[in-house]
Amino acid sequence: MTPRGFFARHRIASGLIAPGILGVAALVTLPWALSSGPRTADTELTSSVTECHDMVTVSIAGRGDTPSADTPKLVDANGNALPAALSTDYSSKWLDPVANAPAASVNPNSYASVYVAYPANMDSYESAVTTGVANAESVMQQIQQSCPNTRFAIVGYSEGADVARRVAMDVGHQTADAKGGYGIVNPANVTGVVIFADAGRADGTGPFPGATNPFTNPNGFNQAYQTGTTPADGQGAVQGTGGSDFGALNGRIASFCSDGDLTCSAPQNISLLNLAVNVGRQLNVDSLEKNGLTLDNGQGVAVVLGQIAFNAFQEIRATPNWMQGNETFLDVLLKVSDPAYKPGQTTAVTDTAQDASISTNQMSPLAYLPQKMFKEIVGLIATNQNTIPVVMSDPYNLTLGPDAKGHHFDYWRDANTADGKPLTSSQYAAAWLTQLAQQAQAGQPLDTTVKPDATTVKTVVDQVTATPTPTSAAATTSGTATTSTSTSNSATPTDSASASATTTAPTTAAPTPAANEVDASTSVTPETTSAAPTVETQTAAVVPTTTAAVSTTPTTTPAVPSSTR
């Protein structure tokens, strides 16, 4: 078999950048969507951030699984479209079971779930994730400005998990301004964050970083996730923005990782693959995966590699006595190849020699060359002890695999009662979000000591496992005609949609792809929840009368039929 055929079989682009494609394709599975810019939308046919809810879950899904430009969008207070859609207008078969679960346990107007639109592709990965972070934070800002009492949960999976992690870290590490305000949202209003396949997970971290019991439960939800205290192997594949410190959100994070899912459990000592991942995050992997190395995408590869090489030599030049130090050239490459790397200010080197002769001081670094070469060789071997085993383990099939059989999809099927884990990760997350939504509806402050009612937990678990997941390649979403009746002294709109809407109990069983579907981008018929809000006001408000019949048929097309995520 030719090298090109070998790489194509494993979904890895051929050429010198093959390790980068391997690292990204098998380590970060992400969605295919384009976030639209601001535009004025017909508020009769859309939902506005001014329609307040007690709690809103902001979800970011994976590759090929995000609202498209044609999906009805949430609008801001001025009627401008935001990069997000309600779960009644867009459906993610992977995240719906988690994000929609609370709706059945609270009043129709109390809870809403939105999906963030972002360019969830691999052109490039870093650009897509950065845009996703900006879009998610913008949506949360707009909701908070109109509804300051609304609480938030954040849910992310695959590439969307990286977005969710970065948003959570941004929120948790904010500093209040002189008036007590925050640039994104008040961290106290973010009650829970759920991350499936956490690409930024730190080595040895339990599922609940910062919690009192990091292996058992997040603070405030005294339902045990598991009895064991052994973390998943390894660490996340994207460490530049990772870690276990979420600042003010510590204890409110659920970061689920399955052994064998290399997005979050990549072993230590694979520095060459780490370098490949860093490079791959900056390349147009979609084009390389589809077309191989061409003149068009080759220019992008050359620019990225050239910039990394330039930064490496600049870094060495700016480091005094680098030849005498222990830092290897591979260490430098790992540092400067990280997309988050920002070159420091370098000190200009002035040549004060009066002639072409080489002084003793100028010669001295050469004396360290043999020792430096020895360190380079030893360092290369020591930091790559697991590189060959990982490559030989067929990382693509181990992590992704055909028909969603890889470990990247374990979170919907990983219950093991005999091993002290009675719920799947998605079931556990759904039960937790349900409790948070109930607390928000009751107006209770975030309670870090409350024990969930066993009956409620059982009801949620039964609910989210009751209905098999459809496998249709497209979904038709129809909104029920909504009529709000205005009364001059009412602060809470009443919505007849809640009486006529049919709520389909979501499932957290692993969704089964259709025969022609490998990507998670296929949408299923979503759970219908009321779009009418509970408006929180300090004084009586006049509720407008709005009659709107919404009928939308978004169709999500798989991004790359030959690759799941």
| Helices and strands (DSSP H and E) totals, the chain | 16, 10
Average pLDDT over residues 175-181: 93
pLDDT at 106: 96
In a domain, 215, yes or no: yes
Token readout for 486 is: 């205005």
Evaluate if residue 539 carries a pLDDT over 70. Answer: no
In a domain, 335, yes or no: no
- Tell me the percentage of the chain whose pLDDT exceeds 90: 38
User: 166 with 133: CB under 8 angstroms?
Assistant: yes
Sorting pLDDT into bands at 50, 70 and 90, what band is 124? confident
**Count of domains observed in the chain:** 1
Which tens digit of pLDDT belongs to each residue from 501-526?
A: 333 334 445 555 443 333 433 333 33
What CATH number is associated with residue 102?
Answer: 3.40.50.1820
Average pLDDT over residues 265-277: 71
User: 73 with 85: CB under 8 angstroms?
Assistant: yes
Average pLDDT over residues 226-255: 90
In a domain, 284, yes or no: no
pLDDT at 341: 83
Higher pLDDT, 434 or 20: 434
Average pLDDT over residues 420-436: 96
In a domain, 199, yes or no: yes
CA distances (Å), origin 498, targets 52, 189, 482, 494 = 16, 26, 9, 9
Evaluate if residue 396 carries a pLDDT over 90. Answer: no
Evaluate if residue 473 carries a pLDDT over 70. Answer: no
Average pLDDT over residues 330-334: 78
pLDDT at 350: 40
pLDDT at 450: 53
In a domain, 534, yes or no: yes
**Three-state SS for 271?**
helix
Average pLDDT over residues 391-415: 83
In a domain, 565, yes or no: no
DSSP collapsed to 3 states, 32-48? CCCCCCCCECCCCCCCE
pLDDT at 270: 62
For 72-76, 149-153, 253-257, 416-420, which range has the lowest pLDDT when averaged over its residues?
A: 416-420
In a domain, 319, yes or no: no
Q: CB neighbours of 349 closer than 8 A, spacing ≥ 6?
A: 317
pLDDT at 514: 40
pLDDT at 455: 62
- Alpha helices, H only, 226-385: 271-280, 285-291, 295-317, 329-337, 360-367, 369-382
Higher pLDDT, 45 or 500: 45
Token readout for 344 is: 């420091």
Instruction: For residues 334 and 328, give the distance between their C-alpha atoms in angstroms, rounded to a whole number.
Output: 10
The model's pTM is 0.65
Evaluate if residue 348 carries a pLDDT over 90. Answer: no
In a domain, 22, yes or no: no
Evaluate if residue 365 carries a pLDDT over 50. Answer: yes
Evaluate if residue 422 carries a pLDDT over 60. Answer: yes
Range of the domain at 419: 31-267+401-552
Higher pLDDT, 297 or 21: 297
